[in-house]
Structure 1
């Protein structure tokens, strides 16, 4: 289903004007788009979480080559399709390599144990996330959160509905996966952190 075909969800107005309380934050303001995935039957040409991807029949499916404890057998494992987002449905989605307008996110269903291991695990605050290819600062591209809002605050609940975890996706210990991209070259490898 395309974004225009489904009911939209509205984030309520913020209860505080954070920039008036903390003027120094104004310089760090960025556009953000909150996505509210809900159970549906998407097609390969739709933006969605889970579901079928628009994938060339002749291209091999992405795999994870890191050894995994608890995996069903030795050898590479197929990655799971986490999300497919079209620029037409996500305002401010940066263009990909060669101007691509489709972002597909895959993840490994097992904990990785090996030389690449887990991404940076930051619970106490922001840490630097620099590009491995050019050493420049990376931008947050996408956050996959277990829940749409914290239990301590109702101000982020969409006005139209209320489930906290409509997709059933659980990240780490009920946290979030942050995916970062290089703003200088979208072909540079992405990095991630789990919070």
Structure 2
């Protein structure tokens, strides 16, 4: 698949930006049949038969409902009726809500009822589990030009645990990630069937997709640019959408639209990391700037799948999970960020 060319006028309008261009590989996942020999999303991995399958032991986060006493609910309803402004809670309500939160316990996230059922308190709690991880993607260096090759590895396998986890160290709420780097030639007698993984969130189960890798050039988020170029980029009417690729990709630059630019130092050496992989909820195909030339003018309904969400994966609030890798430390340590 091919991305439409960046209009020359857009680059010319920002003199000096071209010097900061960096290649990235758009993966262009599209539903299809895949094998363990392919680069893909959501397919079987080329996994050695004598190597244990990864298991997630990180506590998963689950939602629990807690019964509430009717007396407390009645007092809350009476306090709400006493409001002088419908959208401003009273001091009495505030006290009652604190009482309710204390009753529900740590992880309190609100209260309510569903389908006419009883009103209950909601809380998120961590529960231990040992869950075989789920295959997310397999990337071959032969197919993906921007894939790193730490220690001579030419194959990256991405697995995660398809439950929400509170990963405080990374400040990420979502699946735990395991990256496995290996040399394809070393895999003999590959595993036929991996152990089944329990799934807590269906949108963490990727649909099998073939990849159509394409190397492009993209440019930094404005906050990563020096002045005065940063100021010029900030004034561009649609800088991020014009110069930064959406969707699943390897390499390139990270967007920081939710948090502003954050440091991502290596947890081993404290040196800089580099964006290695983006797992995105959408491909950005709704915008002509990033819609593949091959799909331009095609009736989306004729494709048999959602071209903007081909993998079925949703992370965060339809955001992106980004993997930053240390380019120098042995073992390719990484850290996560979610936007």
**TM-score, normalised via structure 1 length:** 0.84
**Counterpart position of 1:101:** 154
Partners of 1:149 and 1:115 lie apart in 2 by: 30
Partner of residue 149, structure 1 = 284
Verify: 1:119 aligned to 2:172, yes or no.
yes
Q: 2-side partners of 1:84 and 1:175: how far apart?
A: 21
2:316 counterpart (172, 177, 182): 172
Give matches, 1:1-195, under 5 Å: 9-15=1-7, 17-70=9-62, 74-96=128-150, 98-113=151-166, 116=169, 118-119=171-172, 123-149=258-284, 151=286, 153-161=287-295, 163-185=307-329, 187-195=331-339
**Which residue in 1 is equivalent to 2:226?**
none
CA distance in 1, matches of 2:170, 2:284: 28
CA–CA separation in structure 1 for the residues paired with 2:330 and 2:30: 29
Counterparts of 2:293 and 2:148, CA distance in 1: 27
Deviation at 1:22, TM superposition (A): 2.7
The alignment covers a number of residue pairs equal to 184
TM-score (norm 2): 0.50
Q: Which runs of 5+ in 1 are unaligned?
A: 1-8
Query: Partners in 1 of 2:55 and 2:10 — Cα distance?
Result: 43
Q: Does the CA contact (< 8 Å) of 2:278 and 2:321 recur in 1? A: yes
Tell me what 1:3 maps to. none
Alpha-carbon distance between aligned partners in 1 of 2:333 and 2:143, rounded to the nearest angstrom: 24
- In 1, Cα distance between the equivalents of 2:270 and 2:58? 24
Deviates more, 1:80-89 or 1:183-192: 183-192
* 1:61 CA displacement: 1.2
The whole-number CA distance in structure 1 between the counterparts of 2:263 and 2:283 is 25
**Where in structure 2 are there 5+ consecutive unaligned residues?**
64-126, 174-255, 301-306
- Which structure: greater helix fraction? 2
Bigger drift between 61-70 and 17-26 goes to 17-26
Higher alpha-carbon deviation: 28-37 or 12-21: 12-21
Answer 1 or 2: higher relative contact order, Cα 8 Å, separation at least 6.
2
Contact kept in structure 1, 2:285 and 2:291, CA below 8 Å: no
Please provide the CA RMSD for this pair.
2.4
Superposed CA offset, 1:93-134 (max 9, x none): 1102x20000111122111136546439x6132211110011
Closer/same/farther in 2, CA of residues 171 and 104 from structure 1, 3 Å limit: same
